[in-house]
Amino acid sequence: MPELPEVETIRRGLEPCVVGLSLESVTVTDQKVLDWSAKEGRLAAVEGQRIEAVSRRGKYLVMVLDRHYLIFHLGMTGQLTIRDPRRHDSAFFERTVTGLEWCEQHAPDRHTHLHLFLGDGRQLLFRDIRKFGRVYVLGRSAEELAAFFRVHRLGIEPFTSDYNLKAFLSGFKNRTLRLKSLLLNQSFVAGVGNIYADEALFEAGVHPARRVCGLRKAEKERLFLAVQKVLERGIEFGGTSFRDFVNSEGEKGTNQEKLYVYGREGEPCLTCGTPIVKTVISQRGTHFCPTCQPRGGKRL
Ligand SMILES: [Zn+2]
């Protein structure tokens, strides 16, 4: 599932390609990816509008148009890529983008549900194998956008002034759930998913199954720094590609080569050599080092 670094990588790739262009027309081949706000012709309202900016909140990508916001959530397997039909490799694309292979262009196939035709002849394709992704259309008003994120219960946004220690610590109050569950909860810190939750807990040296209420202040402070650090690293390396993630140009990220615990079950911890353990917490595969992240907490 694309998390904050993957969505941010897509945003950074899209922005210089699409800002200033008009959205000439939109073709939908599967209504399932449309939220009700984009159904029954409401998506057609964006046609002819100019793309002013591409922003992001948590895992949501927000395309700012003249009169609307066009919002994408990539769900589990969503991809948003630019295709230039005039490019030399557009005709001989041979395989679908489902793995780690570098692809030259993202050719439309049966999983491509939305085609946005841009003013310069290129296309923006929304492709999603599992169809958990969603497309939303909102009227362009700050209040409407704020209400949208309230309804979707988005918490503090990393890399903004909202992400401060006070706000972070308030997320621990009156909660007894496990740390891994807290990090996965989008109403705590927006944009963190399974990969970066595991990496942040390793970085902070805390066990993922510990209860939120049992954490010492110093451990919470370490986690506060760790979350932003692992997200930053993810962005720096262009996101993590295990299965479906590709950037707007169809290229995979390289952060999977930089991970300390996620996807490394049985391999030696890069810090201490202990084999990484995989367990299940909140129905999600969870990776940790039993030595660097002891259940009882580290002696300080
Ligand atoms: Zn270790």
Residue 238 lies in a domain: yes
Print the domain residue range for 68: 4-151
Both 78 and 185 in one domain: the answer is no
pTM: 0.92
Which of these ranges, 97-111, 176-190, 275-289, has the smallest mean pLDDT?
Answer: 97-111
Q: Are 153 and 120 in contact (CB under 8 A)?
A: no
Q: Measured between alpha carbons, how far is 81 from 246 in angstroms, rounded to an integer?
A: 8
Q: Please identify which of the residues 284, 290, 294, 298 carries the catalytic annotation.
A: 284
Average pLDDT over residues 258-274: 96
Residue pair 182/204 in contact by the 8 Å Cβ criterion: no
- Residues 119, 143: one domain? yes
Which residue, chain included where needed, has tokens 């491509």? Answer: 112
Q: Is residue 295 part of a domain?
A: no
Q: Are residues 93 and 180 in the same domain?
A: no
Q: Which of 2, 5, 158, 208 is catalytic?
A: 2
> Based on the domain organization, do 169 and 144 belong to the same domain?
no
Give the distance (Å) from ligand 1 centre to CA of residue 146: 41
Among candidate residues 289, 239, 297, 219, the one with its CA nearest the CA of residue 3? 239
Q: Please indicate whether residue 59 is annotated as part of the active site.
A: yes
Instruction: Write the CATH number for 134.
Output: 3.20.190.10
CA of 100 to the centre of ligand 1 (A): 28
Q: Which of the listed residues 151, 178, 204 is the one where a domain comes to its end? A: 151
Is residue 295 annotated as part of the catalytic site, yes or no?
Answer: no
Clarify whether residues 37 and 62 are in a common domain.
yes
What is the mean pLDDT of the segment spanning 54-73? 97
- The yes-or-no verdict on residue 96 having pLDDT over 50 is no
Q: Are 27 and 128 in the same domain?
A: yes
At 299, the pLDDT band (50, 70, 90 cuts) reads low
230 and 121 inside one domain: no
CA distances from 57 to 4, 36, 189, 225 (A): 8, 20, 11, 20
Distances (CA, A) of 179 to 101, 215, 233, 288, 298: 34, 9, 21, 12, 15
Structurally, the chain folds into a number of domains equal to 2
- The pLDDT, as a whole number, for residue 13 is 86
pLDDT tens track for 180-237: 999 999 999 999 999 999 999 999 999 999 999 999 999 999 999 999 999 999 999 8
Residue 194 lies in a domain: yes
Residue from 11, 57, 59, 134 carrying the catalytic annotation: 59
